[in-house]
Structure 1
Amino acid sequence: MGEILPTFHQAVGGDVIVGLDHPDDAGVVRLTDEIALLQTVDFFTPIVDDPYAYGQIAAANALSDIYAMGGTPISAVNILCLPVAKIDPEAVAGILAGGRDKAAEAGCPIIGGQSVEDRELKYGLAVTGRIHPAQILKKVGAQAGDVLVLTKPLGVGLLTSGFKAGRGEPALVARASQTMATLSAIPARLAHAFGAHACTDITGFGLLGHAGEMVRDTEVGFRIDARAVPCFAEVLARPYRKLRTRADATNRAYTRAIATVGAAVGEAMEALLYDPQTSGGLLVALPAARAEGYLQAIAGEGYLLPCAVIGTVEAALVGRIVVE
Structure 2
Amino acid sequence: MQKFIKPQNLQQVYPLLFNWQPENHGLGKGFAMTNFTELKGCGCKVPQTQLLKYLGQIGKGDIGSETPDVSVFPINQTNNFHTISTIDYFYPLVANPYAQGRIACCNVLSDLYAMGVTQVDTMLMVLGVCTKMTEEEKQISTSLMLKGFNDCAKEANTSVTGGQSVQSPWPQIGGVGIASNHRDDFIMPNGAEPGDYLILTKPLGVQIAVNTFQWMTTSPQKWDAIKGITNQNEINQAFDVATKSMCLLNAAAASLFKKYQIKAATDVTGFGILGHAKYLAQAQNLNVEFVIDTLPIIRNLYKLDKIARDFKFKEGFAAETSGGLLIATKHPDSFLKDYKDLIGEWGWVIGKVVESKKRNAVISENVKIYEV
Q: CA deviation at 1:223?
A: 2.0
Q: CA deviation at 1:77?
A: 1.1
Match of 1:231 in 2: 297
Contact 1:75/1:109 (<8 A) preserved: yes
Q: CA deviation at 1:188?
A: 1.2
- Listed as ranges, the gaps of 5+ residues in structure 2 are 1-50, 217-222, 224-231, 367-372
Separation in structure 2 between the aligned mates of residue 244 and residue 68 of structure 1, nearest angstrom: 31
Give TM-score scaled by structure 2 length. Answer: 0.72
Choose the corresponding residue for 2:68, options 6, 15, 24: 24
Sequence identity (%): 29
Choose the corresponding residue for 1:285, options 307, 312, 328: 328
Separation in structure 1 between the aligned mates of residue 278 and residue 94 of structure 2, nearest angstrom: 28
* 1:24-103 paired onto structure 2 within 5 Å: 24-31=68-75, 32-71=78-117, 72-84=119-131, 86-87=133-134, 88=137, 89-103=139-153
Contact 2:238/2:301 (<8 A) preserved: no
Q: CA deviation at 1:317?
A: 6.5
CA RMSD in angstroms comes to: 2.2
Match of 2:43 in 1: none
Aligned residues: 290
Separation in structure 2 between the aligned mates of residue 180 and residue 216 of structure 1, nearest angstrom: 26
User: In structure 2, the residue corresponding to 1:137 is in which secondary structure?
Assistant: coil
- State the one-letter code of the partner of 1:69: M
Separation in structure 2 between the aligned mates of residue 133 and residue 9 of structure 1, nearest angstrom: 28
User: In structure 2, the residue corresponding to 1:140 is in which secondary structure?
Assistant: coil
Task: Please say which of residues 311-320 and 69-78 is displaced more in the overlay.
Answer: 311-320
Separation in structure 2 between the aligned mates of residue 314 and residue 20 of structure 1, nearest angstrom: 23
- State the one-letter code of the partner of 1:147: Y
User: In structure 1, the residue corresponding to 2:296 is in which secondary structure?
Assistant: coil
Does residue 1:198 correspond to 2:238, yes or no?
Answer: no
Q: CA deviation at 1:171?
A: 4.1
> CA 1:159–1:245 in 2, change beyond 3 Å: closer, same or farther?
farther
- Listed as ranges, the gaps of 5+ residues in structure 1 are 13-17, 249-268
> CA 1:109–1:245 in 2, change beyond 3 Å: closer, same or farther?
farther
Choose the corresponding residue for 1:2, options 46, 52, 69: 52
Choose the corresponding residue for 1:244, options 281, 290, 309: 309
Give TM-score scaled by structure 1 length. Answer: 0.83
User: In structure 2, the residue corresponding to 1:103 is in which secondary structure?
Assistant: helix
Match of 1:276 in 2: 319
User: In structure 1, the residue corresponding to 2:346 is in which secondary structure?
Assistant: coil
Q: Deviations over 1:263-321 (max 9, x none)?
A: xxxxxx615x321000000000011xx211111111122x1341011111110464342
